[in-house]
């Protein structure tokens, strides 16, 4: 399958096609929040993001910045060739529960140690996720956990036909 034609970024934007593979982790300067069930369940100024070719950034928030009870161990696991073995969490806010909507790497591989004790959350099942006050859009397709903001351009992996990118 051929590589898609990247959208040219405007000033202040990034193309996900300029992100590296293997991915890199970098700190986030902006405030990141997550709301579910009408409640603010996470609020931090200490997030990091993982940048990988063709993917919008995946944001990882410190476990300590989630309200108590917002994350409950869930069944399931997966393996990333770069980050290692992931475990999953159900996410709770108010009376709302989203099964398996968060994950982390309790023993990340070399180069990704900064992800230990950090949690990533799928934006789609949440009421709202924000970066710097901007409401994010979930990465297309439902499998990947990237957050799309106005600062990134694609096309993004996850759209129909992108399996071979």
Burial 116-144 (b: 16+ CB within 10 A, else e): eebbbbbbbbbbebbbeeeebbbbbeeeb
**Whole-number Cα distances in Å, 5 to 15, 17, 118:** 11, 9, 33
Give the global pTM: 0.96
What confidence score (pLDDT) does residue 48 get? 98
* Confidence band, pLDDT 50/70/90 cuts, at residue 143: confident
What confidence score (pLDDT) does residue 109 get? 96
Average pLDDT over residues 3-32: 96
What confidence score (pLDDT) does residue 97 get? 98
What confidence score (pLDDT) does residue 124 get? 97
Where do the domains of the chain lie? 14-148
Over 60: is that where the pLDDT of 87 sits?
Answer: yes
**Whole-number Cα distances in Å, 75 to 5, 59, 90, 101, 102:** 38, 22, 9, 11, 11
Rounded CA-CA distance 164/44 in Å is 35
CATH assignment of 14-148, among 3.30.750.24, 1.10.3470.10, 2.170.150.40, 2.70.98.10: 2.170.150.40
What confidence score (pLDDT) does residue 3 get? 76
């Amino acid at each position: 399958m051929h590589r898609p034609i990247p959208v040219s970024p405007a000033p202040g934007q990034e193309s996900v096609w300029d992100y590296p593979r293997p991915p890199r982790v970098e700190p986030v300067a902006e405030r990141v929040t997550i709301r579910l069930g009408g409640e603010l369940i996470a609020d931090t100024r200490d997030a990091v993001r993982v940048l990988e070719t063709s993917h919008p950034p995946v944001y990882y928030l410190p476990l300590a910045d989630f309200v108590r009870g917002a994350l409950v161990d869930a069944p399931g696991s997966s393996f990333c060739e770069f980050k290692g073995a992931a475990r999953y969490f159900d996410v709770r806010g108010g009376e709302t529960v989203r099964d398996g909507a968060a994950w982390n790497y309790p023993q990340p591989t070399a180069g990704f140690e900064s992800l230990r004790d950090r949690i990533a959350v799928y934006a789609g099942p949440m009421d709202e996720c924000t970066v710097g006050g901007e409401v994010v859009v979930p990465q297309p397709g439902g499998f990947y956990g990237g957050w799309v903001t106005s600062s990134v351009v694609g096309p993004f992996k996850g759209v129909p036909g992108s399996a071979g990118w």
